[in-house]
Amino acid sequence: MGARIAVLVSGSGTNLQALLDDGAIAPHIAVVLSDRPGVAALDRASRRDVEAIVLEPSGRPDRDAYTDAVRDALLERSVDTVVLAGYMRVLGASFFEAFADRVLNVHPALLPSFPGAHAVADALDWGVKVTGVTVHLVDEQVDHGPIVLQEAIEVRDDDTWESLEPRVHAVEHRLLPAAVRALLDERVAVEGRIVRIIGREPTT
């Protein structure tokens, strides 16, 4: 049957679209889960006939209860690999125990610099000359897990959020699928905080 991927989203879903447009990844996407109703990412999933579900935190007593609900929804669908693509919810330990070393996240900065939800703006405010994109394995701490891939982006003297963010997105849309393909091909080797991509990507 091969890997079954869940993509977790909270917004417009441009990174989800990059995965749906990748011929090596799309057949493995089993479900798209959002913590918010009505977001464009759900429409992107439906247009590709991918199951789209909404699980909101409201009505659940705490983060652990919400984490368990998300975990159980994915396990019920035989998911074994998870991609966080603009998912703005922090999940608890039981989730990462269920999908150990099989959860990827894309972050719009060169971690460990500028973690959190405002990385592009934070990099600009700090005056850095270089920022970038990180794809990392996810653990219980926010933007903390072992780094799989990174790519630097020059910050120009006249950059604003409006000019820098599209360049960041363009790199995200390349880097995240590359990391997902490596994970699907079992080419990701993890030793503590060190991640190595084994061998070359198979050619079609």
- Asked if residue 81 and residue 130 are part of one domain, the reply reads no
- Asked if residue 81 and residue 1 are part of one domain, the reply reads yes
The Cα–Cα gap between 65 and 5 comes to 22
Q: Which one of 100, 125, 149 terminates a domain?
A: 100
Q: Which one of 74, 100, 126 terminates a domain?
A: 100
- Asked if residue 138 and residue 61 are part of one domain, the reply reads no
- Asked if residue 86 and residue 112 are part of one domain, the reply reads no
Q: Which one of 100, 120, 138 terminates a domain?
A: 100
Which pLDDT score is estimated for 159? 95
Strand 130-137 vs strand 147-154: parallel, antiparallel, or unpaired?
antiparallel
Q: What is the pLDDT of residues 85-130, one digit of tens each?
A: 999 999 998 999 999 989 999 999 999 999 988 999 999 999 999 9
- Asked if residue 55 and residue 119 are part of one domain, the reply reads no
- Asked if residue 152 and residue 94 are part of one domain, the reply reads no
CATH number, residue 127: 3.40.50.170
Q: How confident is the model at residue 140 (pLDDT cuts 50, 70, 90)?
A: confident
Burial 98-122 (b: 16+ CB within 10 A, else e): bbebbbbbbbbbbbebbbeeebbeb
Domains held by the chain: number: 2
Q: How confident is the model at residue 141 (pLDDT cuts 50, 70, 90)?
A: confident
**170 vs 93, which has greater pLDDT?**
170
Lowest mean pLDDT among 86-90, 181-185, 198-202: 198-202
Average pLDDT, the chain: 94
- Asked if residue 49 and residue 3 are part of one domain, the reply reads yes
Q: Which residues are catalytically annotated?
A: 107
Q: Percentage of the chain with pLDDT > 90?
A: 85
Which pLDDT score is estimated for 203? 66
Q: Which domain holds residue 150?
A: 107-204
Q: What is the pLDDT of residues 61-74, one digit of tens each?
A: 999 999 999 999 99
Per-residue pLDDT, averaged over 197-202, amounts to 84
Question: Does the structure show a pLDDT above 90 at 192?
Answer: no
- Asked if residue 122 and residue 56 are part of one domain, the reply reads no
Which pLDDT score is estimated for 153? 98
- Asked if residue 64 and residue 2 are part of one domain, the reply reads yes
Which pLDDT score is estimated for 31? 98
Query: How many Cβ atoms are within 10 Å of 62's Cβ, its own excluded?
Result: 9
Q: How confident is the model at residue 142 (pLDDT cuts 50, 70, 90)?
A: confident
Q: How confident is the model at residue 134 (pLDDT cuts 50, 70, 90)?
A: very high
- Asked if residue 24 and residue 118 are part of one domain, the reply reads no
Per-residue pLDDT, averaged over 142-160, amounts to 93
The Cα–Cα gap between 122 and 161 comes to 10
- Asked if residue 91 and residue 74 are part of one domain, the reply reads yes
- Asked if residue 83 and residue 7 are part of one domain, the reply reads yes
The Cα–Cα gap between 59 and 79 comes to 25
